[in-house]
Structure 1
Amino acid sequence: MRATLLFSLAGLTAALNPPSPQHIFSNPEYNARSTYKIPTVHESAVQARRILRLENIGTLSTVFPNTHSTENRPSEVSGAPIGLMDYYADCEAESGNPTILAITIATSFKNEAAGSNITLSLRWHPRDGRKFYSAAAFPRYSLLGYLEDISPKEALSQNVIGCFVKNHPDAAAWLPGNRIHESKWVRLVVQEIYWIGGFGDRAYIGWIPQEEWQNVTKEEIDSITLPGEKAQGWGSWKTWLGLGAEEQDDVPWEL
């Protein structure tokens, strides 16, 4: 009975004095439960640039304009944001500005032409083939900027077609000059980067300055391997969560 009473009092004390929540931008340098070191802003920028290289599909987010005189849209969507999947390719490795084949009839590009801001959101998809992983543990981020036309001469000199079609063979059907849809080459000029590297006790969460994004070198991008990039497995999921041997024994459930 006494043990039960003490346990109840301990629970009441914990409820009345809950631990202070970690601020999302606090980014602690050391986690007492593990040996993880929080990556620096520059290290996070390198990871983001590698993701830009290895992924090739993202979400373009724009906002509907206030007028819809030529569109059959509900009036209620004026000013509402919308995110839609689109292709991109990392064809300008020095700047880190993604290359996009803009189909001018598509909603994202019509909204942008009407004055909307635009962002490209990406997330890392592991390649190791495991059936279980926590998507929340992997990096994701958004690139904020504006679209800038790539001239035909520039596209030719930079082999934009070759780069883009290598990433998206099916896009060969709607290259500029095709008979299906009007299209053009544009780059997303990156101005701001918002990064979530994973769980906050072991990954950087916050803004990456434009200069950090642009100063990442090809050698740095080549030098790292993202989590789950190769078929090597995670080992025990409890170990992956940063639990020590004693803590693993205390966890009563398995997946």
Structure 2
Amino acid sequence: MRLPSASVIGLITTTSAFNLPSPKHLFSNPTDVSSNDFKIPTVHESAVQARRILQLESIGTLSTVFPTTPHATERRPSDVGGAPIGLMDYFGNCEPDTGNPTILAITIATSFKNVDAGSNITLSLRWHPQDSQWRSPASLPRFSLVGRLEDLTADDLKQNPLVPACYLKYHPDAVAWLPGNRIHESKWVRLVVEEVYWIGGFGDRAYIGWIPKEEWQSVTKEEIESIRLPGEKKGWAGWREWVGLGEAQEAFEL
């Protein structure tokens, strides 16, 4: 009789220890909702969760496509034209009423050179729990914002002068790359969200699919402050706690 390998035994032990529910759907929602064991959040509830993640996270992946024409100053392999590339970058939720993340674009960086050459762009991010409890990464929410970059004009920064301070609160080290620095040319841009693709977790207990732009934009500050994500540490509950309405509700565990 062949005994299970040590790695398999370890996996079984770990799974049993955490008593993980067995997901019935990984990357799609069930067709018969009435037979499902979990209440799947609505599209709007999923949009609220995504907007809270946008508020709490600050690092994501920018995905662009290499142009098919050679770059004037950069030596690239001849066969990368048309190929996508995803690179880590900073962002900040510094225009929170709009849902459009703020980015400090270093113009020499590949993502922004590709955009200047005509590429579209997406920002992908995922929720990182703040506690020490183990969770399957596949069970946690993640999403992609599909859109376009738009420069923040002098008038934009005059109307919202706290954008740089907001961004530096997320990324103190970025002070060295602010516009006018001696290292690289940079500028403030916003990613204007045009489409949102959301994977809330396993498909039998979380919504998976597109979130309309109108739904994304309709989320209010009060809704964002009213929930807590899985593994989010309890503490300051935003405006609700300040006005004496108690702690925010924690989002369901996926």
- Normalized against structure 1, the TM-score is what? 0.78
Q: Is the 8 A contact 1:89 1:99 kept in 2?
A: yes
Alignment of 1:194 with 2:202, yes or no, is: no
Q: Against the structure 1 CA distance between its residues 38 and 69, is the aligned structure 2 distance closer, same or farther, given a 3 Å change threshold?
A: closer
Cα distance, 1:24 vs. partner? 2.1
Aligned to 2:136: 134
CA distance in 2, matches of 1:183, 1:23: 38
Deviation at 1:215, TM superposition (A): 0.3
Residue 67 of structure 1, CA deviation: 1.2
The CA distance in 2 between the partners of 1:117 and 1:177, in whole Å, is 27
CA distance in structure 2 between the aligned counterparts of 1:133 and 1:23, rounded to whole angstroms = 17
Q: Shift of residue 152 of structure 1?
A: 2.7
Match of 1:74 among 77, 89, 93: 77
In structure 2, C-alpha distance between the alignment counterparts of 1:27 and 1:180, rounded to whole Å: 54
Quickly say closer, same or farther: Cα 1:179–1:211, change in 2 above 3 A. Answer: same
Give the corresponding residue for 2:245: none
Between the aligned partners of 1:31 and 1:84, the Cα distance in structure 2 is 41
| Amino acid in the other structure paired with 2:179 | P
RMSD: 2.1
Counterpart amino acid of residue 33 in structure 2: E
Name the structure 2 match of 1:93: 96
Moved over 6 A (4+): 20-23
Determine if the alignment matches structure 1 residue 184 to structure 2 residue 187: yes
- Residue in 1 aligned with 2:175? 172
Identity of aligned residues (%): 68
The one-letter amino acid of 1:129's match is S
- Superposed displacement of residue 28, structure 1: 5.0
Distance in 2 between the 1:29 and 1:161 partners?
Answer: 46
What does residue range 5-84 of structure 1 map to in structure 2 within 5 Å?
A: 24-26=28-30, 29-30=33-34, 32=36, 34=37, 36-70=38-72, 71-84=74-87
Q: Hey, what does 1:226 align to over in structure 2? A: 229
Compared with structure 1, are the counterparts of its residues 27 and 223 closer, same or farther at alpha carbon in structure 2 (3 Å cutoff)?
farther
> Does 1:114 pair with 2:117?
yes
Counterpart in the other structure of 1:210: 213
- Cα displacement string for residues 140-183 of structure 1 (whole angstroms, at most 9, x for unaligned residues): 00000000000133224311101100110000110000000000
Change (3 A) 1:60 1:134: same
Measure how far apart 1:69 and its partner are. Answer: 4.0
Distance 1:201 1:145, change over 3 A: same
Aligned residue identity for 2:139: A
Based on CA coordinates, which of the two structures has the bigger radius of gyration? 1
Q: How many residue pairs are counted as aligned between the two chains?
A: 212
Query: Quick one: distance in 1 between partners of 2:169 and 2:32?
Result: 41
Shift of 1:116: 0.2
Q: Name the SS for the 1:82 alignment partner.
A: strand
Instruction: Check 1:194–1:112 CA distance in 2 against 1; reply closer, same or farther (3 A cut).
Output: same
**Counterpart pick for 1:104 among 98, 104, 107:** 107
Query: Are the aligned partners of 1:28 and 1:38 in contact in 2 as well (CA < 8 Å)?
Result: no
Q: By how many angstroms is 1:133 displaced?
A: 1.6
Conservation of the 8 A alpha-carbon contact between 1:31 and 1:37: no
Aligned AA (2:137): A
Counterpart in 2 of 1:146?
A: 148
